Structures are given as C-alpha cells and as structure tokens.
Amino acid sequence: MIIVHEMYPHPVQPVCLRVPPGHRKGWKKHCGQYRACGVPVYFVQDGWYRDSVRPEGKGKGKDKDKDKDKGHGEKGD
C-alpha cells in the first residue's frame, strides 16, 4: 500500500487561501507549502482581498501601522 497524501481521520473544514496564480494552477505540486493537501480549498482573488479585507483608507493597512510607532524612542514626554 502506498500513501501519497496524509488523510485526515475526521472531516476537515475548507480553508480560504490567497496564492499566486501559478500555485493555484498547479495545486497538487504546491499544496504541501500551505499544509493543505487533501483539504478543501477556496482560492481568494487578489481584487476581492484588497477591496474587502484590506481596503485602503478605512483604518487598515500601512496608515494603521504608522500610528503605532508615534513617539517610539522618545523619553520624558
């Protein structure tokens, strides 16, 4: 008996992944990098991720990280 991919003893919930188009196209070759071989996968499109999950101007992304560093390294204020 040859086992190609690890099987899960219980039903596995699907995962959502944002991967490069080449990884999506050749998923069997790349699934190990994401530890998602044998797992149902929904591939998330970059446009949806940018617009829905990380929209600019709504307190997320680079501007949010800038606020965390204000005053860093200053003493006595």
Nearest-5° Cα angle at 44, 42 to 49 = 150
Least confident window among 9-13, 37-41, 65-69: 65-69
pLDDT of residue 4: 66
Task: Quick: pLDDT tens for 26-55.
Answer: 999 999 999 999 899 999 888 888 888 877
Taking the complete model, does pTM exceed 0.75, yes or no?
no
Residue 68 pLDDT greater than 90, yes or no: no
Q: Kindly state the DSSP code that residue 9 receives in the 8-state scheme.
A: S
Query: Which backbone phi and psi does 9 adopt, to 5 degrees?
Result: -70, -15
> What proportion of the chain, given as a percentage, has pLDDT over 90?
35
CA–CA distance, 42 with 24 (Å, rounded to integer): 10
Decide: helix, strand or coil at residue 16: strand
